[in-house]
Structures are given as C-alpha cells and as structure tokens.
Amino acid sequence: MARDVSDTTPITSRNMLVEWLEIGSKTDGTPLRIGTEHEKIPFYAADHAPVPYEGSAGRGGVRALLEGLGDALGWAPILDRDALIGLYQPDGGGAISLEPGGQFELSGAPLPDVHATQDELDAHFAALAPVARALGVRFLDLGCSPKWSRAETPLMPKQRYDIMRAYMPKVGGRGLDMMFRTATVQVNVDFVDEADMVQKMRVGLALQPLFTAFFANSPFLDGRPTGRLSERSYIWRDTDPDRTGMLPFAFEEGFGFEAYVDYALDVPMYFVKRGDVYHDVTGASFRDLLEGRLPQLPGERATMSDWANHLSTIFPEVRLKTYLEMRGADAGPRAHLTALPALCAGLLYDAAALDQARQLTKDWTAPARQALCDDAPVLALDAQIGGRSLRDVGREVLALSKSGLRRRARLDAQGRDESVYLAPLEEILEEGRTLAQRRLDAYCGAWERSIEPVFTDCVLPL
C-alpha cells in the first residue's frame, strides 16, 4: 500500500464497514480493471551491497532513487513526517512505495488490460533506468534477498514499520524475514457484486498454491539454497497466524462481505494514525476502537481511514478490500510481471473460465487446500492435491486462462490478445522446471556453488 488512507468520517455502525467493501462492486457496468504491484530488491552493482535509505560511502541511496524518479515522472512526494517514503501520480494512477528493507515497489494503476500493464511497466523501467544507473544501483529479480542477513539489511524510515518490527517476533518466527527480505508480484482484480467476489475469492484462494508453484523464484537465503523453491512463501507460514493463511471460512455457506468484516474485526491491530503520528496499539481490538475503549488511546473512536488502514495490515493469501488481491507469487523477471495479471485476467474476468475453475476446485477440502499451501513452497509443481500433481492442475488452469483471454479479445497494436503474456508459464510446464529450479541448477553448475552470480544473472534489465 503506497499511502495510508485519510478519511476522518466517524464509524457509527458495523454496517458502514460492510458498505466500505461493497463500494468496490461494479454493478453499474463499470469495466473491470486489473492492477499489478511488484517489488524489487536494490543493490549496488560495484560491490553487491544492499542500498540504505541515505546511501553509504558517498553513494546515493533509496531516498536519492525516489528523488530522481520523482523529478523524472513529475509525481508527488509521499512523506512520513519529514522522510520521503514514496511517490504518487496526482491524477490517481500509480504510486511508488518502499517495503521495510528497501524493496522498491511499483503499485500500478487499475488498467483495462494486460497490454496496458506492459506499457506501464515499460514506462516505469524507462524512467527508473537512468536514475538507478547514475547511482550505481541495480535490482534483483528474485523473491527473496539471497545473501544479506537481517542485520545487514537496511531499515526504511516508516513509522508503521517500526511498530511492526517490534511486534512481529511476538507472534511468529519469520515475520522479520517477511518484512525485510522478501519480494512479491501481486495482482488486484475487481468484482461485479458480492456473489462475484465470493466466487473469485474461492477460486483465488484455492489456486494460490498453484501461483506459488508457477512463480517459485526464491530458493536462496543467507548465501545458500534453503531446500525450498519459494522461501518467500514458506516464510509466510510462520509470520502471524492471526492475519495470514488460506481463510477456510471463505468456503463456508453464507460467506460474503459481512463474514469478512467479522474476520477483520478480530485481527489484532498494529497502529492508529492521527495526524502525522502512528500510535502503537499492537494486539488491540478494532472493536474497542469502535467503542472508544482502546486502552492506548482512551476515548478515541474509529474513522473510515482507520478501517482502510487496518485492512491493509491483514495478509491472507487473497485479501479483500474494495478489490481482491492475489498474493501468492514470488517476484521475478519482467516477463513474469505480466504473466501473473494475464493468468488472473483469463481465469477471473471470463465467466466460463471462472465457472470451470470453480468446478475444478470446489471439491477440495479445507485440510487438502492447507496441505497444498504448505507443500507448494517446497515442492512447487510436484505438490499434489486429490491425487493430481500441481503440474497437471496447472496445465488445466493455464488452458482455462488462455481460452478466457482469447474470448476477452483485448488486442494490442499487432493484433495479439493477452494470452501472449502466458508464454513464461507455458515454458515452465513444457520444461517441467520452475525458475527456482533452473537457478538452483546454475548454482550447482556454472556458479560453482557461489551466490555472487545472482548479482549478474538474476537482475532486472534497465
């Protein structure tokens, strides 16, 4: 999330929380759009060191990246007190934000199709390239920081991250790794109404382990292989059980906006923002804030911005806000950053493909879905559910998505539909190996068991 929401409207009823989610419904026929967010890990090309906020040894850092990109794009600054922590497009388009360890994120605008996503990415990298080159900075295309320890990883000057950093070790063993050493690509999709949201939520949750497998690209941590293909996804298994996971209640009869509100109300809070100050209320109940009984802020009552910000601190595999966020994939090369939105658009924005995907997954039980979620980070496409490998499921899902994209018939200037962006996934299925497995092969072969070649071979082109 690039900017915390500022809406001081007091919350006077639980129904207002439900209505806030319902606002996302496109019942008026508004076209469904797709948004893509991706994180990338910066490093100095000269010595493969991480990039601090203020820079080091006379070199400009993350702040200088933001300043240069802001000048190039003409985007407005996002400040945390006096610290520049992001940029946003004043007309309501995209934004740039920082993750806790300096991961540099493009929060893309909601766009009509994947061709527009490709154009957005091209424009982003075109603007970023000269700024990064001048600073001697490059970006890894991996889902985890492969070399530096947590102690070596920089800290970004964001108040909310200070609060989270203190709280994470109290609720899980890997929360700090999640914050400081992981990178993801995420796709945001619209829904028409509550029934459509429910269908997309269920299909999305059931298939997130497949997304994890398809996009597995984080086999290294602390300078060596971890034994897992998506260490990023594995880290989420031990981050905070109160706010992560596969949401089994979403498959129960009667699930809808109200059920998600009740779930979110029971997720402990991180902070309450008043003015420029983030107040640490970790572990507190949003219900107490609604009633003005929050021990840390007696008499303070919830506003709509509190609700929006609270929802942004919940991290299930699929997250509901005024749209749905698909959160299961590792960051990757440029082609992977358009493959994920293409996969989602084909599955979720074509009625026939969505229905067939639901039929494919509807008999999977909650224990089976959870087992698949646990296995996918380790086994990727070799994980199994219902006697089938994810590789077999992936072939069927990819075919559904491809058919959906062809029926959507969104064409680029060369007359190609969006299915052209599925090529990396078709290649993975044809070869039978994920990107993580290919990179492990390189580690054991040409890299001679050294992690240093990631800084030349696993880099986003600028």
Place of tokens 């490998």: 389
**What pLDDT sits at residue 104?**
98
Q: 161 and 11 in contact (C-beta within 8 Å)?
A: no
Give the torsion sign (CA, 52, 55, 60, 63): positive
CA pair distance 11, 17, nearest whole angstrom: 8
Amino acid at 74: G
The mean per-residue pLDDT over the stretch 31-42 comes to: 98
pLDDT at 1 over 50: no
Helical packing angle, 351-361 and 194-214, nearest 10°:
70
pLDDT at 42 over 80: yes
Model pLDDT for residues 153-164, shown as the tens digit of each residue: 999 999 999 999
**What pLDDT sits at residue 108?**
97
**What pLDDT sits at residue 4?**
60
Model pLDDT for residues 355-401, shown as the tens digit of each residue: 999 999 999 999 999 999 999 999 999 999 999 999 999 999 999 99
pLDDT at 243 over 80: yes
Domains of the chain: 14-457 (3.30.590.20)
Q: How far is CA 385 from the centre of its chain?
A: 24
219's tokens: 């086999």
- By percentage, how much of the chain surpasses pLDDT 70? 99
CA pair distance 194, 206, nearest whole angstrom: 18
Place of tokens 């006379």: 58
Identify which of 55, 78, 270, 1 has the alpha carbon closest to the alpha carbon of residue 162.
270
134 CB contacts (<8 Å, ≥6 apart)?
68
Model pLDDT for residues 184-236, shown as the tens digit of each residue: 999 999 999 999 999 999 999 999 999 999 999 999 999 999 999 999 999 99
**What pLDDT sits at residue 164?**
98
**What pLDDT sits at residue 57?**
87
Model pLDDT for residues 407-448, shown as the tens digit of each residue: 999 999 999 999 999 999 999 999 999 999 999 999 999 999
Phi-psi region of 65 (alpha: psi -120 to 50; beta: other; left: phi over 0): alpha
Give the torsion sign (CA, 214, 217, 220, 225): positive
**What pLDDT sits at residue 93?**
87
- By percentage, how much of the chain surpasses pLDDT 90? 97
pLDDT at 320 over 80: yes
Q: pTM of the predicted model, to two decimals?
A: 0.97
The mean per-residue pLDDT over the stretch 39-62 comes to: 96
pLDDT at 5 over 90: no
pLDDT at 3 over 90: no
Mean per-residue pLDDT of the chain: 97
**What pLDDT sits at residue 396?**
98
**What pLDDT sits at residue 173?**
98
CA pair distance 314, 228, nearest whole angstrom: 25
**What pLDDT sits at residue 270?**
98
CA pair distance 286, 269, nearest whole angstrom: 6
pLDDT at 65 over 50: yes
H or E, element range at 45:
none
